[in-house]
């Protein structure tokens, strides 16, 4: 693995950590900074909708149920070229009444020398309802 590929993979992995942190802090500006301006957020599996561009993606973030935490349990990426990559973020998301295991799939592109999410989609793998305390 050459240095450029390793650097790209490290930058993309750091995006995953920043995404979780921004979502947990409800810092939608920081979350949106990870997305290309014309990005697509495919939330069909969760909300039956696709959100296009920063304004609609912000709407998705602002209207989503309160999450107690996004905990990445694994992350990997494939850098296809100098300008294209894919990644999967394995996630445990905790809510007040339930918890989910979710795959976040990213298509990334380099925009002005920076990796940006061009498409994000979700796939719910499991759900566990929590008993009342």
pLDDT tens-place string over residues 92-121: 888 888 888 899 999 999 999 999 999 999
Q: How far is CA 39 from the centre of its chain?
A: 12
Q: In what helix (H) or strand (E) does residue 47 lie, and over which residues does it extend?
A: helix 44-47
Above 80 in pLDDT, residue 13? yes
Domain ranges of the chain: 3-129
CATH 3.10.450.50 correct for 3-129: yes
Give the tens place of pLDDT for each residue, 46-93: 889 999 999 999 999 999 888 888 898 999 999 999 999 999 999 988
As a whole number of angstroms, the distance between CA 122 and CA 110 comes to 22
Q: Decide if 74 contacts 93 (C-beta within 8 A).
A: no
The predicted pLDDT at position 96 comes to 85
DSSP tag of 130: P
Nearest CA to 84 out of 18, 16, 8, 31 is that of 8
The predicted pLDDT at position 131 comes to 76
Q: How far is CA 37 from the centre of its chain?
A: 15
As a whole number of angstroms, the distance between CA 109 and CA 13 comes to 14
């Amino acid at each position: 693995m050459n240095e450029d590929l390793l650097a790209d993979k490290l930058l993309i992995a750091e995006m995953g950590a920043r995404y979780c942190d921004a979502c947990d802090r409800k810092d939608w500006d920081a979350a949106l900074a990870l997305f290309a301006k014309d990005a697509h957020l495919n939330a069909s599996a969760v909300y039956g909708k696709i959100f296009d561009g920063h304004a609609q993606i912000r709407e998705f973030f602002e209207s989503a149920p309160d999450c107690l935490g996004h905990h990445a349990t694994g992350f990997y990426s494939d850098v296809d070229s100098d300008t294209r990559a894919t990644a999967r973020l394995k996630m445990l998301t905790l809510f007040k009444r339930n918890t989910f295991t979710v795959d976040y799939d990213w298509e990334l592109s380099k925009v002005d020398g920076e990796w940006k999410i061009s498409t994000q989609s979700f796939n719910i793998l499991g759900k566990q309802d929590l008993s009342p305390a």
